Each structure stands twice: as structure tokens, then as C-alpha cells.
Amino acid sequence: MGIVAFMKSFAPVLLYSVGLLLALRALSGKTELTLWFLVALLPLRNIIDRFHGFPLGKDFVDIVVLTLLLGWGVSTMLRKEKFIEKTPINGLAVAFILYAFVSVLQGSSYLQLDSLFSISDLRVQSWKNFCILPTLFFITLNNIRTKENVWRTVVVMCVTMVFMDFYLTRQISWYSGIVSREKIEGTFVFLGPNEIAAFYTQYTILLIAVFFSLRKKVFKWLLLGLIWVNLFCITFLFSRAAYISLAVGMFFLFAVKKRILLVPLVLVAIFWQVALPDKVIERINMTTNEYGELDASAEHRLIAWQQAMDLFYESPVTGVGYGVFSQMGFRLGDTHNIYMKILAEQGLVGIFIFLLLVFAFFSQGIKLYLHGDDELSKGLGLGFAICIIVLMVNNIFGDRWTYMEVSSNLWVFAALVARLNIFSDEAKFKKQVQDNKRSVGTCSIGISKTPCEIPTRP
């Protein structure tokens, strides 16, 4: 009836207008709605690109982020609260961005460019876009101040996945063959099925962990429906890396939370040639030919890895510079492995900072799982920790770290997990204070023979 076509033409204008109004609203210090709008929008690259035809449309995301930063400052002054909450992630995130900036300058020198830092340089634009991700972490951490808003943010990301599923399932039905899979772009536009599959594996495993902790049946069934559609999409995106990372994530999750589910997982792993759909089996078998040789895709990746290592050997400590590999004229134009990419471009210093940052993410998830003050928070903590494991596996086979569409949710979830840890620490501190008051009263009447302890704020 043309409803979808009408919505496609009408939605960008509506969302652009709403976004501008919310950006203005954020300047008054009321940032939550604007933040949720941005979080929902970032994975929808197809909509963001439609904004380019409107005034300042190409800078729309940057404008919204800037207004959120200004609104954050206004909100802090109005509420007379501290500007930045302390977390183990803060310093590492800043260090990663600053070192990447230095690496951009180094890369300009290596490539012998006329200007060390030019906005027209694609490497500079890539660095600027990546800077939005840790900025989003700081904005989310310091503007989501209640547990209710933490879970509302999670709901916003789930609603976005529903829209993504709508686009993706339609494209999967159009391009159902293994060869035609390259035409699938979902809502990511410039990225392909492997990046989309990485997105789905990382956040679906997180949602499964949350599902195990949910108690309300309505929410549980709704989340289960989203999980099943996500798994369908992962299956028919035919990404071998996604199959591996999802299996690894499920193994760790089931081992911790639902060991009984390890049985069907192991059976599928053993009898995959019988249990999986025929096209999935065909895709897995394409890794090698009848003579045991790697297919062209896998072989080209090995060549790219060797080229990355050659650049690393030129400058092992600091690398040759941010974004240099894509400018060298190599066949693939990318290392298809984030570890090789960072080693080549940012050296041992860069990979060390990266691994510390990822470990900080993981440790925050584990901390929330072990010490969260409710089961749902613990479920999110466990899911986020295993999401990081899946991320590490995904990045062996490609860059699933620097793209805003893939990683925006990662930094938002990191902020939510860190915020829930803060809530948990504050709750424990209050309990200690109350216990101390009781013990002080007991000491004052001479019942206790032990000195009263004064708790310190975490």
C-alpha cells in the first residue's frame, strides 16, 4: 500500500527536525531525551546519510554531540554535582584518543603529506569520528543518573535493533544466496555483512544474559523475540567469523549461567554438518577448497596480515601512524584484523593501551556481575563481560572497533555498566554508614569492647 515508501520519505525530515529540537533542549541541561535520540540514531547510518541534504546535515551528529557536552556542563552547574564520575575506563579512554592523535601526526609525516593535520585528510576524519565514541561514553556515564534511566537506555537500544531487524530481514530475503550476501548492508550503508554480523553477535549475547536475569514475563517474551530474530539474521549473514565468535560467547555464557545449555551447544559443534542449514554448511566449507587450500578471501587476509607486520617491523614501538595502512595502495586496503592494524599503525604502545582499555571494559562487567545490587544488573554485567570476549574474537577477522555504527552501543553499554557499579558502591557505602551508626550507639553505652570503624567513601 506504499506505507513503507511513504515512511522512508517522511521519516528523515521528521527525525531531522526532532533532532534539532532535542539538541536545543539539551542546551538547557535536560540531556536525557537528546542522548537517547543519539544512541538510537548512531547504528542507523541509512537515516543519518539522508540528513546530508538538509542544512548542516553532514555535521548533524557532531552538532548533537556538542549540544550534549554543553548541556552536560549546564546540568552539572544547576544540580551542583561533580562533573565527571571516576571509573577505571576514564583515563584509558582519554589516553587512547590522545595517542591516536599523535599517531595521526606521525602518519602524516610518514606519508610525507603537505599538512600534518588537515580536515580534508580521510585519516583525520576517521580519527574525529572515533573520538565520538569515548565522548559518548562520558556523556552517558555522567548524564544517566538513575537506575530507571539506565534501563530506559537499554530499551532504546533494543528498539533500534527492532528497526535494524526490519531492514535486515528484508534484505536477507532479497539476497538469500551466499554470493549475493555482499549486497546486504542493513542500516550500515558503507559496511558489509561481516560488520553487521559482528554487531549482532556482540549485543545478542549481551541480551541473552539479560534475558536469563529477567523476571517479568512480558519483558522476557519480548526480549526473547528480539533475540530469536537477531540469531536468524546472524545465521543467514553467512559470516564465518560471526559463527565462531557467537559459539565462543555462548560457551562462556552457558558455562557460567545455564550449564544445561552446553549440551545442545556441544552437540551442534560436533554434528554441525547435520544440525546447521545447508547454506550455512556450504559457507563454512568454502574456507578451503577440495585440495585443502584456503579460499581467496582467507588467503588475501593472510597477505594483508603479512603486509601489516612488515610495517610494524619498520617502527615497532610507535608504528607508522594512524590510518597509514589504507593509504599504502595494498589490495585489501585494510588489515582485516584490529590487532595487526594497531600494531602496524600505533605500535606496541598503541596495542598496550588498547588491551588495557578492553580489559577495563571486561573488569567493569565482571565487577557488576559479582557485586551488583540486583539480579538484572548482574545479568547486564555478565553479558557485557562476555560481549567483550566476543568483541575480541570478532576483531581477529576484521576491524569491529573503530566504526561508529558497530561500536556506539559498546561504549554506551560500558557507561551503563560503570554507572551501575557506582550505584552498587554507593549502596554499600550507605549500608556501612548505617552499620557504623549502630555500632557507635553500641560503643557509647559501653557494650562493645572493640573500637568503632568509620567507613570511607568508595
User: Can you give the pLDDT at residue 288?
Assistant: 55
Largest CA distance in the chain: 86
Query: 316, 417, 456: which is closest to 88 by C-alpha?
Result: 417
For the purposes of burial, counting CB atoms within 10 Å of the CB of 453, is it exposed (0-12), middle (13-18) or buried (19 or more)?
A: exposed
For residues 154 and 416, the answer to whether their CB atoms sit within 8 Å is yes
126-135, 259-268, 280-289: least confident range? 280-289
User: Can you give the pLDDT at residue 452?
Assistant: 54
User: Can you give the pLDDT at residue 7?
Assistant: 66
In single-letter form, the type of residue at position 184 comes to: I
Contact residues for 132 (Cβ-Cβ < 8 A; gap 6+): 61, 62, 65, 404, 408
Cα–Cα distance for residue pair 16/22, rounded to 1 Å: 10
User: Can you give the pLDDT at residue 387?
Assistant: 97
For the purposes of burial, counting CB atoms within 10 Å of the CB of 204, is it exposed (0-12), middle (13-18) or buried (19 or more)?
A: buried
Query: 387, 389, 386, 367: which is closest to 377 by C-alpha?
Result: 367
| Domain ranges across the chain | 1-83, 85-118+157-401
Report which secondary-structure segment, H or E, holds 449. Answer: none
Interval 65-96: pLDDT, tens: 999 999 999 988 887 778 889 999 999 999 99
Cα–Cα distance for residue pair 200/195, rounded to 1 Å: 9
Please report which confidence band the pLDDT of residue 456 belongs to, taking 50, 70 and 90 as the band edges: low
DSSP code string of 75-125: HHHHHT--SS---HHHHHHHHHHHHHHHHHHHHHHHTT-S-SS-TT-HHHH
Tell which wins on pLDDT, 176 or 350. 350
Query: 245, 243, 208: which is closest to 228 by C-alpha?
Result: 208
Contact residues for 210 (Cβ-Cβ < 8 A; gap 6+): 154, 223, 376, 379, 380, 383
pTM: predicted TM-score of the whole model, two decimal places = 0.91
DSSP code string of 395-431: TTSS--SS-HHHHHHHHHHHHHHHHHHHHHHHHHHHH
Calculate mean pLDDT across residues 231-249.
93
Query: 396, 205, 441, 320: which is closest to 330 by C-alpha?
Result: 320
Cα–Cα distance for residue pair 9/4, rounded to 1 Å: 9
User: Can you give the pLDDT at residue 455?
Assistant: 58
Please report which confidence band the pLDDT of residue 283 belongs to, taking 50, 70 and 90 as the band edges: confident
Backbone dihedral angles phi then psi of residue 294, each to the nearest 5 degrees: -65, 145
User: Can you give the pLDDT at residue 2?
Assistant: 62
15-29, 106-120, 426-440: least confident range? 426-440
Mean pLDDT of the chain: 89
Query: 82, 153, 42: which is closest to 417 by C-alpha?
Result: 153
Query: 220, 161, 52, 212: which is closest to 412 by C-alpha?
Result: 161
Cα–Cα distance for residue pair 67/35, rounded to 1 Å: 10
User: Can you give the pLDDT at residue 290?
Assistant: 47
Cα–Cα distance for residue pair 145/326, rounded to 1 Å: 41
Q: Percent of the chain at pLDDT above 90?
A: 67
User: Can you give the pLDDT at residue 291?
Assistant: 43
Query: 132, 103, 91: which is closest to 357 by C-alpha?
Result: 91
Please report which confidence band the pLDDT of residue 296 belongs to, taking 50, 70 and 90 as the band edges: low
Backbone dihedral angles phi then psi of residue 146, each to the nearest 5 degrees: -130, 155
Interval 191-232: pLDDT, tens: 989 999 999 999 999 999 999 999 888 999 999 999 999 999
Query: 133, 159, 142: which is closest to 65 by C-alpha?
Result: 133
User: What is the number of helices (H) and of strands (E) in the chain?
Assistant: 17, 0
Cα–Cα distance for residue pair 157/405, rounded to 1 Å: 12
Interval 389-424: pLDDT, tens: 999 999 999 899 999 999 999 999 999 999 999 999
For residues 60 and 41, the answer to whether their CB atoms sit within 8 Å is no
User: Can you give the pLDDT at residue 26?
Assistant: 94
User: Can you give the pLDDT at residue 435?
Assistant: 75
User: Can you give the pLDDT at residue 453?
Assistant: 53
Q: What is the distance between the terminal CA atoms of the chain, rounded to a whole angstrom?
A: 59
Query: 365, 425, 372: which is closest to 391 by C-alpha?
Result: 365
